[in-house]
Amino acid sequence: MAIKTEEMVLNMGPQHPSTHGVLRLELVLEGEIIQKVTPHIGYLHRCFEKHCEAMTYPQIVPYTDRMDYLAAMGNELGYAVAVEKLLGIELPPRVEYIRVIMAELQRIASHLVAIGTYGADIGAMTPFLFAFRDREVVLNLFEITCGARMLYNYIWPGGLSHDLHPDFVRLTREFCTYFKPKIVEMNNLLSTNRIFIERTANVGILPLETAINYGITGPMLRGSGFKWDLRKDDPYSVYDKFDFDIPVGTGKHGTVGDCWDRYDVRIKEMEESVKIVEQALDQLPEGDVTSAIPKRIKPVVGSVYARVENPRGELGYFIVSTGGTSPFRLKVRGPSFVNLGIMDVLCKNHMVADVIAILGSVDIVLGEVDR
Amino acid sequence: MKEYFQNVWYGLFTVFVGMKVTFKHLFVPSVTIQYPDVNIKLPERERNRLYVNMDDCIGCDQCSRACPVSCISIETVKSIPGEDLGKTSNGKKKALWVTKFDIDIAKCCFCQLCVFPCPTECIYMTDVFEYSEYERNSLVYNFVTLSPAEIAQKKSNFAKLEAEKAAQKAAAAAAPPPVKPAAKTEDKP
Amino acid sequence: MIIYDFLYNLVYSLFQSALVSNIVAMTICAALPLIFVLTFVLWAVLAERKVSAWMQDRVGPNRTGPHGILQTVADLIKLLQKEDIVASENDRPLFNIAPVLVFSGSYVVFAVLPFSFAFIGSNIDLGLIFLVAASGFVVPGILMAGWSSNNKYSLLGAMRSAAQIVSYEIPTLLVLVTIIMITGTTNLRTLSEMQTGYFWNWMIFGGPGLSAAKFLFIPFMFIGFIILYISTLAEVNRTPFDIPEAESELVSGFHTEYSGMKFAMFFLSEYANMFAVSALVSAVFLGGYQSPFGYIGNLIHVTWLVPIEQFFWFAFKGVFFVLVQMWLRWTLPRLRVDQLMALCWKYLIPIAFVNLIIVGLITVL
């Protein structure tokens, strides 16, 4: 006679050390096996899209920072690309190159947070601090350029707010030489660690079909083995001038598309970003970065959709303009929001501890999920 | 079977590799800056508390309009003709008395959008970041240099000027219209 | 033991009563390990934080006293003056007894640890078995704590912990049986005495004497040492086996709901347990209180110095293994529950069994 069991509803509530922000995950458990996961979001909703209808185009830039606050340069870049498409202006090449350098440095910083917090969720506290130590160097570079460490207001539609600091190029090159052995150390400490591999390989396997059907982008899609990166497949800015590779998941320690693959894609992307930064520094032209910034941004009537490759996926801005100084409608396609939808599919028949590993590999930022 | 022993060996080996990394880090000097005892030198473009140099402010309201969170509130009053308000540091002649210039630093999002439009560069961000207060109202910074009595005086001056102008206009409207050349009357046949 | 006899005689000469002398001597002897434990915990809490800080390129506590040595005192004062919260839905008797049981389970083990030749809490002939059995006291304590917290997370943590501790006692016992087979005694003091001499007489190098069997034992002793270390690490809920108190998943697991002094009891018992198992490992394999190089007291013919030196060596070895435990904690991620069980049942137990059989064969032949 079977024992009567009941399904337990466990709430990984908004306040939890590992849910990367205020996310509520409602788990239906059978013992330790998950039957269903329902994410509840909205705890960080700040009415960003509605608020944009009341602000002028330059005033929206500080607000775009605050969506995905760990990858702020990417957000600003997406917005700038969208508005410039709407205005139809041509940018000086120096602006484009500096934007690429900033975006790639931001990618490194964002992936460091993702990797560090992923290690901390799994239980290894030390790589978290090492990752943040390296992130400090990147934030110092941003600080000398625009004065802020996290929410920059640097990439404006039409140009940049400041030109590079005179020491920036030298310090960035020093950073690139400093950072390469740190990736090796992180690999030794975390990526090749048997316990880490046991926790993340064959866990949360995302088949490619499912990923494409759900609209997953970014390292999650690349972890499932598909080479899709907007920087190569739909190039914006000057990305077509650089030589870099798109890492994909190969199922080295398990199946293609498991958590280890996504984590490995992030590590390899950091290496590629360092390559791009070095190439951009070599090719950096001279010029004036503020010359193309329009005095008043009053675009023509129309709408535009522009997308960039954020560290978390494809960030898209859809702007509808009716000719005024504020957009009529600004809609943001946040990659974390779309990627979060995959939680139920990934967590089926895994254990509670795996939910943490899977959520860490999805790498969400609640500011972007809720806007 | 072979995989079993491989697992055991691999497990122990990677544990030792990890331990070697942490052991090496035991001897790396710490990277902590002991904050209150050690003063951190901030970069020159650092964006912290705002400061307004009122001698240079011409009251153009550009910073207030650029602010995305509306934390700057400015009120000005026109000066009466004949008053000399002085010049700003880059030679412009001031024409407005600034009677209210409040920045609510609690609302400020430190975006720096107010710094760029200023024609005299009188508003800028300093590197002061230790400015906590006990009362929330103390975070509203008043930058005007005129005393309340002076402000009242300037306002009344302007009000008088306006009143005079309005009186003049009213007098001009009530006065008989200037004599126009007589219209040619048609001779009636 | 020498200290017990000394105290007994002292009190007898004052009060001329066997009963009183017995009671006083026993109480003092029972309190001495407590003093040791408290001093150790005072140091260990700070050491954990400092060692973790140095490994992570940080500084650790350095404001409370020079280099933070008063940190544990500050923690203690803070915990003492906290409000003792017992939620309304909690099962009061269980909630209150749980920390007591957990602490007693960890502390009772100190009765059989050989601190030096002059002092052992209780020289029972079943020392090793008593140690493993008494440390099982923590299991109902943890279960009580998890259940009475009326909190799903705590319950999960407590269940996992119970499964973990019970499973990992088996490899521990298997390795200890191996040692018993070689030495023929379970008395920890006799075990330590057997390893007298220099470090090549320690169990990990095959045991005393110079027979051919000794050299044959060495690889199996090493394997046994590693298995014992890993399984005792799991017994005390340290990373990589700390799922019961997994900080990032279960927010402190079974002791989430405890505050104030009761939490301090859990804290205290964790560190006491750490030392106890480190001491066990060193007593069984690395010679207990024996010095690897001989005694200075013997060299300069001051015989009363020898027990003190032995105590020093005992503390040193225990502390060394505690530091290795801390080192492991800050290096490794956490194992999942089923992987932990798989590690125990599929890897440690078969290897320990094979070890046992081979050592048995060598002993017989």
pLDDT at A270: 92
* Mean pLDDT estimate for chain B: 83
Q: Does B33 touch chain C (CB under 8 A)?
A: no
H/E segment holding residue B91: none
Q: What is the pLDDT of residues A187-214, one digit of tens each?
A: 888 888 888 888 888 888 989 999 999 9
pLDDT on residue A254: 83
CA atoms of A161 and A80, how far apart (whole Å): 12
- Evaluate whether C251 touches C74 at the Cβ level (below 8 Å): no
Spell out which residues of chain B touch residue A193, defining contact as CB-CB under 8 Å. Answer: 14-15, 17-18
b/e burial code for range C39-54 (CB count within 10 A of at least 16 → b): ebbbebbbbbbbbbbb
At A140-153, the pLDDT tens digits run 999 999 888 888 88
Strand partners, B100: B75
Q: Please choose, from the candidates C291, C320, C323, the residue with its C-alpha nearest in 3D space to the C-alpha of residue C308.
A: C291
If you average pLDDT over residues A63-75, what whole number do you get? 90
B115 at the A interface (CB within 8 A)? no
Q: Across all residues in chain A, what is the average pLDDT?
A: 89
For residue B46, pLDDT over 70 is answered with: yes
For residues C325 and A208, give the distance between their C-alpha atoms in angstroms, rounded to a whole number: 42
pLDDT score, position A83 = 92
Find how far residue B107's CA is from the centre of its chain. Answer: 11
**Residues 6+ away with beta carbon under 8 Å from B82:** none
- Taking only the tens of pLDDT, chain C with its 365 residues reads 677 777 777 777 877 777 888 888 888 888 888 888 889 988 898 999 999 888 888 888 888 888 888 888 888 888 888 888 777 777 788 888 888 888 888 888 888 888 887 777 777 888 888 888 888 888 888 888 888 877 777 777 788 888 888 899 999 999 999 888 888 888 888 888 888 777 777 777 777 777 777 778 888 888 899 999 999 988 888 878 877 766 545 556 666 777 788 888 888 888 898 899 999 998 888 887 888 777 777 777 777 778 888 888 888 989 999 999 988 888 888 888 888 888 899 999 999 999 999 988 888 87
Q: Which residues of chain A are within 8 Å of residue C57 when distances are taken between CB atoms?
A: 129-130, 133
Q: Is residue B31 within 8 Å of C59, Cβ to Cβ?
A: no
Rounded to a whole number of angstroms, the distance from the CA of A278 to the nearest CA of chain B is 24
Exposed / middle / buried, residue A233 (Cβ in 10 Å: 0-12, 13-18, 19+): exposed
Q: What CATH number has the domain bearing residue A63?
A: 1.10.645.10
Residues C50 and C60: their CA atoms lie apart, in Å, by 5
Whether A23 is covered by a domain: the verdict is: no
Cβ partners under 8 Å of residue B169, min gap 6: none
Answer for the pair B68, A59: CB distance below 8 angstroms, yes or no. Answer: yes
pTM, rounded to two decimals: 0.89
Q: How far is A354 from chain C (nearest CA, A)?
A: 8
Are C248 and A32 in contact (CB < 8 Å)? no
Is residue A246, in this structure, part of any structural domain at all? yes
pLDDT score, position C252: 61
Per-domain boundaries in chain B: 50-170
Q: What is the maximal distance between C-alpha atoms in chain A? A: 81
Residue pair C99/C297 in contact (Cβ under 8 Å)? The answer is: no
Question: What pLDDT is attached to residue C248?
Answer: 44
Are C115 and C311 a contacting pair, CB within 8 Å? yes
- B26 touching chain C per CB within 8 A: yes
| First-to-final CA distance of chain C | 36
Cross-strand bridge partners of residue C111: none
- A352–C240 CB contact, under 8 Å: no
Q: Give the closest of C55, C249, C337 to A356, CB-based.
A: C249
Is A123 in contact with C240 (Cβ distance < 8 A)?
Answer: yes
Lowest mean pLDDT among A212-221, A223-232, A283-292, C242-251: C242-251
Tell me if C339 and A126 make a contact (CB, 8 A cut-off): no
Residue (of A203, A202, A204, A199) closest to A346 by Cα position: A204
Among the partner-chain residues A61, A146, A192, the one whose CB lies closest to the CB of B45 is A146
B21 interface with A at CB cutoff 8 Å:
yes
Residues forming beta bridges with residue C116, ordered by sequence position: C119
Q: Is the separation of the CB atoms in C130 and C216 below 8 Å?
A: no
Which residue is listed with tokens 């399904």? A7
Interchain CB distance below 8 Å, C330 and B30: no
Contact between chains at C331 and B8 (C-beta distance less than 8 A): no
Q: Is the CB of B17 inside 8 Å of chain C's CB atoms?
A: no
A107, amino acid identity: R
What does the pLDDT read at residue A175? Answer: 93
Between CA A326 and CA C236 the distance in angstroms is 62
Nearest to B8 among C327, C330, C347 (CB): C347
Say how many domains are in chain A.
Answer: 1
Task: Note whether C336 contacts B: Cβ–Cβ < 8 A.
Answer: no
Residues of chain A positioned with their CB less than 8 A from the CB of C154: none
Q: Which chains touch A (3 or more CB pairs under 8 A)?
A: B, C
Residue A348, domain member (yes or no): yes
- Which residues numbered 110-169 in A keep a CB inside 8 Å of some CB on C? 119-126, 129-130, 133
- Of B47, B110, B113, nearest to A58 by CB-CB distance is B113
Q: Give the contacts of C137 (CB within 8 A, at least 6 positions apart).
A: C101, C102, C104, C105, C108
> pLDDT tens digits for A72-117?
999 999 999 999 998 888 899 999 999 999 999 999 999 999 999 9
- The confidence score (pLDDT) of residue A147 equals 87
Whether A197 is covered by a domain: the verdict is: yes
Average pLDDT over residues A321-350: 90
ipTM of the complex: 0.83
Of B51 and C16, more confident: B51
Question: What percentage of chain A reaches a pLDDT higher than 70?
Answer: 99
Q: What is the CATH number of domain B50-170?
A: 3.30.70.3270
Looking at the complex, report in whole angstroms how far the Cα of residue A5 sits from the nearest Cα belonging to chain C. Answer: 16
- Contacting subunits of B (3+ beta carbon pairs below 8 A): A, C
